[in-house]
Amino acid sequence: MPEISFAATILPAVARFPKPDFTSGYQYPTIVHSVPWETFWSWVDIGLLVVMMSLVAWAVHRRRSRGVVVGVSIVSVLYFGFFRTGCVCSVGSIQNVVLALTDSGYRLPITVLLIFLLPLIFALFFGRVFCAGVCPMGALQELVNVRGWRLSRAVSWALGFIPWVYLAFAILYAATRSQFIICRFDPFVGIFRMGGDMGIIIFGVLLLILSVFVGRPFCRFLCPYGVLLGVVSRVARRKVEVTDSKCINCRLCHHACPVDAIRQPNEAKVAERRTTGARRVALYLLLLPLLTVGGGLLLQSQSDTLSMAHRDVWLYAQLTADEQPDVLTAEVEAFHEMGRSMDELEASVQEVKKSYRLWSALAGGLIGFVLGCKLIRLSLKRTRNTYEVEPSACVACGKCFNYCPLKSQL
For every residue of 65-134, DSSP letters joined together read -HHHHHHHHHHHIIIIIIISTT-S-TTTHHHHHHHHHH-TTPPPPHHHHHHHHHHHHHHHHHSSHIIIII
- Beta strands 262-263 and 10-12: pairing type? unpaired
Residue type, 345: L
- Tell me the sheet residues that pair with 11: 33
User: What value does the mean pLDDT of the chain take?
Assistant: 86
What confidence tens digit (pLDDT) does each residue in 114-125 have?
999 999 999 999
Asked whether the predicted pLDDT for residue 7 surpasses 50, the reply is: no
Three-state SS at 388 = strand
Distances 27 to 13, 20, 23, 233 between C-alpha atoms, Å: 16, 11, 10, 61
Domain ranges of the chain: 40-244
What confidence tens digit (pLDDT) does each residue in 211-245 have?
999 999 999 999 999 999 999 999 999 999 988 88
Report d(CA 389, CA 67) in Å as an integer. Answer: 20
Asked whether the predicted pLDDT for residue 262 surpasses 50, the reply is: yes
- Helix, strand, coil fractions of the chain, as percent rounded to 5: 60, 5, 35
Q: Which pLDDT does position 271 carry in this prediction?
A: 61
Report d(CA 190, CA 3) in Å as an integer. Answer: 27
Distances 312 to 252, 262, 299 between C-alpha atoms, Å: 57, 49, 21
Q: Which pLDDT does position 161 carry in this prediction?
A: 94
Tell me the pTM.
0.85
Least confident of 36-45, 100-109, 206-215, 299-308: 36-45
Asked whether the predicted pLDDT for residue 18 surpasses 60, the reply is: no
Q: Residue range 292-320: average pLDDT?
A: 93
Asked whether the predicted pLDDT for residue 15 surpasses 50, the reply is: no
Q: How confident is the model at residue 356 (pLDDT cuts 50, 70, 90)?
A: very high
Share above pLDDT 70 across residues of the chain, in percent, rounded to a whole number: 86
Least confident of 23-27, 162-166, 279-283: 23-27
Asked whether the predicted pLDDT for residue 150 surpasses 50, the reply is: yes
Q: Residue range 257-262: average pLDDT?
A: 91
Q: How confident is the model at residue 163 (pLDDT cuts 50, 70, 90)?
A: very high
User: Angle formed by the axes of helices 110-126 and 93-102, to 10°?
Assistant: 120
Asked whether the predicted pLDDT for residue 409 surpasses 60, the reply is: no
